[in-house]
Chain A
């Protein structure tokens, strides 16, 4: 099955944020002693600046996809380009550097080193990207956009509320002006009010920086915030005939 040509995410873009062709990932399963295919994406690309809601339950291959996109995993076969860069061709160190510079990641939980201050957590991310002198200014700017008061920046990450931690995680993810923001179930630990506030803040912050957003969640109620929606079952052809 191929995706219909009129799907919005199929519109050819000059320099897509992501580009996949015949992308496959599998591993050798010791239990069944056979190769097990986890992910198979015949064709997919995402234009820069898009905001995509990717719906996927656990086991749908979404973790594998995110790991491939940020270069923590290498594809078994096929082509994967991120910002026109073939990650598989980069050395391990270069991939780490690429991830630090061009991508921000926010998880469901444990986004911060608990025993470092908020400021140090953010600085650490800047450090891995090569540490620019503009970090201070960027930090102040993001703190304001994400409604994080100055006093909070000096506190240990572990002492923050979950909602605050998730906002700090966004700040950390955006400190290096990444072109891509990968977000994985960031709101599942939040209550309804905090959830809406978080999505709202995330969106307005992105308005300022224009990064491509891939938002992965199983929560369909959030989908309405996104112009483009997609489901893993649609995207991942693994295990299907043809």
Chain B
């Protein structure tokens, strides 16, 4: 009976109830959506590089090195000499190295020169290796392997020819048009900066920059950075110290996991701001609901007193209002979760393409449950206002009797 009365009472005020539920739905959607994106962005971010123990570059800030070596953002202040690279690779604890040389671009996408180790040792996510969706790794000069987004956005197929540009700008005046490249492979999407990169061999890089050189002399003289894998992770600090104290030139080795966490924490203020805003949106919607119910009390005064005369206790009246609050909140939560799930499932492609972020369509995890608990707690606290109002009315004496 309690349920029936609450339900009919809500159905009675359809328009204002629907608007209130809509406002609540939007706010819960914002709250849950932002939290979900935040979590996914964080994991996605932390998984940009995996399996690499150290990243070595010229001495600069840790985050700066991470930005240009991993995210291809900004430029290296200095390069490292080929000889230094050879010495690092020869250290007894080093298992493998991936040399990285950056600097050129193709229509806004960065070009990375590296070697075969990139295909065999680079890991991302939960220790996932790079997979070629089509074609094969480069094995000679003037061959390029494209990241998934580069291929998709620019519409390149295997076997097509393309020309690299000198420098990072999307419209460069210096084109390496004497040396066109052939697309030999395309990577599967990873949700990491790999998707936005064109990969060529170090020798190809030398070739296009040292016009006229003989093919045998294509040994590069310098590199931008080196990714290092160790035989044993225990040695990581020891090797880091060795590299940092290298006498040949000022080098710096960073632990990518630590640097990624540091970089993410610089974004913490943005995270907190987003959360605060979504919490405020929710509070606003809850106050809206309370205001709607309080306003309705004026017209419900006679109903309340009638219920009292036929024997309803003040608790029944207050409880009725709280139940209405719960019904509206629960409806909004179900709607919001449904919309969020559907939106993520349908828009998955959009997310990967637009933000380069693999967003899980499953929003039903612990963090969401916690948020929903807060939503209900907030609803009950703020819903107590109209409930108390109704309770107070029910304690007054009917004048109509």
A associates with B: yes
Name the contact of A72 in the complex, choosing from B8, B307, B315, B397 (C-beta under 8 A): B397
Question: By the criterion CB–CB under 8 Å, are B306 and A111 in contact?
Answer: yes
Question: By the criterion CB–CB under 8 Å, are B309 and A110 in contact?
Answer: no
A118 to chain B, nearest CB (A): 13
Most buried by A among B302, B306, B316, B401: B401
* B11 contacts A by Cβ under 8 Å: yes
A60 to B400, CA, bound (A): 14
Evaluate whether A63 and B399 lie within 8 angstroms (CB atoms) in the complex, with A113-B303, A124-B1 already known: yes
* B213 contacts A by Cβ under 8 Å: no
Question: By the criterion CB–CB under 8 Å, are B401 and A72 in contact?
Answer: yes
Chain B 351-401 residues near chain A, CB threshold 8 A: 397-401
Most buried by A among B9, B303, B309, B397: B309
A37 to chain B, nearest CB (A): 16
* B199 contacts A by Cβ under 8 Å: no
- CB-CB under 8 A from B308, the residues of chain A are 72, 96
* A12 contacts B by Cβ under 8 Å: no
Evaluate whether A97 and B311 lie within 8 angstroms (CB atoms) in the complex, with A105-B401, A108-B400, A127-B1 already known: yes
Question: By the criterion CB–CB under 8 Å, are A96 and B311 in contact?
Answer: yes
* B153 contacts A by Cβ under 8 Å: no
* A115 contacts B by Cβ under 8 Å: yes
Question: By the criterion CB–CB under 8 Å, are B400 and A67 in contact?
Answer: no
Question: By the criterion CB–CB under 8 Å, are A107 and B310 in contact?
Answer: no
Question: By the criterion CB–CB under 8 Å, are B8 and A105 in contact?
Answer: no
* A52 contacts B by Cβ under 8 Å: no
Question: By the criterion CB–CB under 8 Å, are A105 and B310 in contact?
Answer: yes
Chain B 1-17 residues near chain A, CB threshold 8 A: 1, 4-5, 8-9, 11-12
* A123 contacts B by Cβ under 8 Å: yes
A67 to B400, CA, bound (A): 10
Question: By the criterion CB–CB under 8 Å, are A120 and B313 in contact?
Answer: no
B224 to chain A, nearest CB (A): 73
* B91 contacts A by Cβ under 8 Å: no
Chain A 68-110 residues near chain B, CB threshold 8 A: 70, 72-73, 92-93, 96-97, 99-101, 105, 107-110
* B19 contacts A by Cβ under 8 Å: no
Name the contact of B9 in the complex, choosing from A67, A99, A115, A184 (C-beta under 8 A): A115
Query: B309's closest neighbor in chain A, by CB?
Result: A105
A79 to B315, CA, bound (A): 28
Name the contact of B311 in the complex, choosing from A67, A99, A108, A116 (C-beta under 8 A): A99
B residues contacting A by CB (< 8 A) are 1, 4-5, 8-9, 11-12, 302-303, 306-316, 397-401
A-B contact pairs, 25 of them (CB 8 A): A63-B399, A72-B309, A72-B397, A72-B401, A96-B308, A99-B309, A99-B311, A100-B310, A101-B311, A107-B400, A109-B400, A110-B302, A110-B400, A111-B306, A113-B306, A115-B8, A116-B5, A116-B8, A120-B5, A120-B8, A123-B1, A125-B311, A128-B311, A128-B316, A131-B1
A residues contacting B by CB (< 8 A) are 63, 66-67, 70, 72-73, 92-93, 96-97, 99-101, 105, 107-116, 120, 123-125, 127-129, 131, 172, 184
Q: Which 10 interchain pairs have the tightest Cβ spacing?
A: A100-B311, A128-B311, A115-B12, A127-B1, A96-B313, A125-B310, A110-B302, A105-B309, A66-B401, A99-B311
